[in-house]
Structure 1
Amino acid sequence: MSPDRRRAPRMAPDERRAAIVAAAGPLFRRHGAAVTTRQIAEAADIAEGTIFRVFPDKESVIQAVVAEAFDQSPTLRELAAINRALPFRDRLTAAVTVLQKRVSDVFGLLGALGWMRGAPPERKPPNGYRHRQPDYDDEAERDFRDAVVGVVGPDECRLRVPAAELAHVMKMLVFSATHPLICAGRPMSAEQIVTLLLDGLLDESAPAAPTTTEDP
């Protein structure tokens, strides 16, 4: 143990747990479940035994890292911080960028751990990680919807649908256009998603294709 590590101030259990999870997350994303507790300890600048004062084993660290990845609180804070003075499209592009980062982070972690198609049967998935059709009105969904409605703001009057419906469609577009198993290696940019969301794919200014009649 280094002298600096011996002089490190004693942390409360919750602080120590948070520091371990913060150090372990990038390691699991980079190297998968093969990461050792020694590597985690070195990244957190603590003694390896300190990990086991907070977690019973490495699997519990993995569970905590995945559970934190599914916590949408940081994403909601980033959405709330988007500059409301920006033009409407720029605000939506900033919001989509935030959401794409969340999708990439979550599924990058699950992919590195080999969980992309579900948690291994010997592991109990953490809270928030479960295959389900989310209830549009459950608390997490309402929080997300309200955050996007806040980004839309007074520009809701420019939409053909309520801002809450735009939030729902945005979430589906971001997920399908970013998830590595769905986008087939061709993720869309935030700008492309916003263009599709607001303008669709039909060019109304283009002439219609000529109609053809088949010979009888």
Structure 2
Amino acid sequence: MTVASDERGVARPGRAAPLPPDERRRAILDAVRPLVLARGASVTTKELAQAAGVAEGTLFRVFADKTTLVRDVVHAAIDPASAVPELDAIDRASWLEHRLTRVFEIGFEQITATIRWVGVLHELARDDVGVSRTRAETGRAWIESQEAGEEAVRAALARVLEPDADRFARPLADVVELLDVLIVGASMQAVNAARRGRAPTQPPVAQLVDTFLHGVLAPTPTRSS
């Protein structure tokens, strides 16, 4: 049985000790994330409180209002660094082709989810005139967070590729940048096709891995002496 204390420090059985403010904030963001993705900006504070397992008043002791909560959920969800644990879980001892296949899969999943989350931000902008002001106030911090997240992803990609660094024709940092360009480019090709109502035209992952490693030129026949 857990024991907590009241405001006077008196022990009260049956209730866990309250979380520190930062942990409570993260717990709420994690708990409501699926709901926000499903309902978008139309989600109600009652639904958010139920998903978080707290009273509505508790939400507003942590977040200024519903718009702030939803916006913070989106910002946490589209943080590039959220992909780092999955990248770090890739077995470094596996074949390079296998590692790259997993990198492409993780990258595509991340970008697809990010596009959905950005749609929620657009809903907020339509529904709440205060979003523009809030965005201006928090824009710089958000940009800095994104840049830090992107740097963390590049570092994770370098760790994935590092066992084969001596096989690359370019420095590892250049290889990481080229890999990032290919992942984003292939993802956006599929996104643009969907926007036009066409079937996605994203090349198969195996083809992308092969092209990344070996280029698009056919092997040059060797001349017999």
Q: Output the TM-score relative to the length of structure 1.
A: 0.74
Q: Give 1:195's aligned residue.
A: 210
1:155 has 2:170 as partner: no
**Contact kept in structure 1, 2:74 and 2:121, CA below 8 Å:** no
Aligned residue for 1:64?
72
The change in CA–CA distance for 1:141 and 1:36 in structure 2 (over 3 A counts) is closer
Q: Distance in 2 between matches of 1:152 and 1:167?
A: 8
Q: CA RMSD in A?
A: 3.1
Give distance in 1, aligned partners of 2:91 and 2:183. Answer: 21
CA displacement, residues 142-192 of structure 1 (integer Å, 9 cap, x when unaligned): 433322121112312222222211211111221222247744232445434
**For 2:38 and 2:74, how far apart are their aligned partners in 1?**
14
Count of aligned pairs between the two proteins? 193
Aligned match for 1:106, one of 107, 114, 120: 114
Q: Indicate the SS of the match to 1:114.
A: helix
Q: CA deviation at 1:141?
A: 4.5
Question: Higher relative contact order at CA 8 Å, sep ≥6: structure 1 or structure 2?
Answer: 1
Three-state SS of the structure 2 residue aligned to 1:92 is helix
Q: Distance in 2 between matches of 1:45 and 1:142?
A: 35
Q: Percent identity?
A: 31
Amino acid at match of 1:199: H
Q: 1:19 to 1:72 in 2, by over 3 A?
A: same
Which runs of 5 or more structure 1 residues have no equivalent in the other structure? 1-6, 207-216
Structure 1 SS opposite 2:38? helix
Instruction: Name the structure 1 match of 2:186.
Output: 177
- Asked whether 1:32 is paired with 2:40, we answer yes
Give the match for residue 212 of structure 1: none
CA contact (8 A) 1:24 1:40 kept: yes
Distance 1:56 1:142, change over 3 A: closer
Residue identity in the other structure for 1:196: T
Shift of 1:54: 0.5
Residue in 1 that maps onto 2:197: none
Deviations 1:18-72 (A, max 9, x none): 1221122212211211011111111111112211110110111022112212333
Match of 2:101 in 1: 93
More helix by share: 2
Where in structure 2 are there 5+ consecutive unaligned residues? 1-13, 195-199
The answer to whether the aligner puts 1:168 opposite 2:177 as a matched pair is: yes
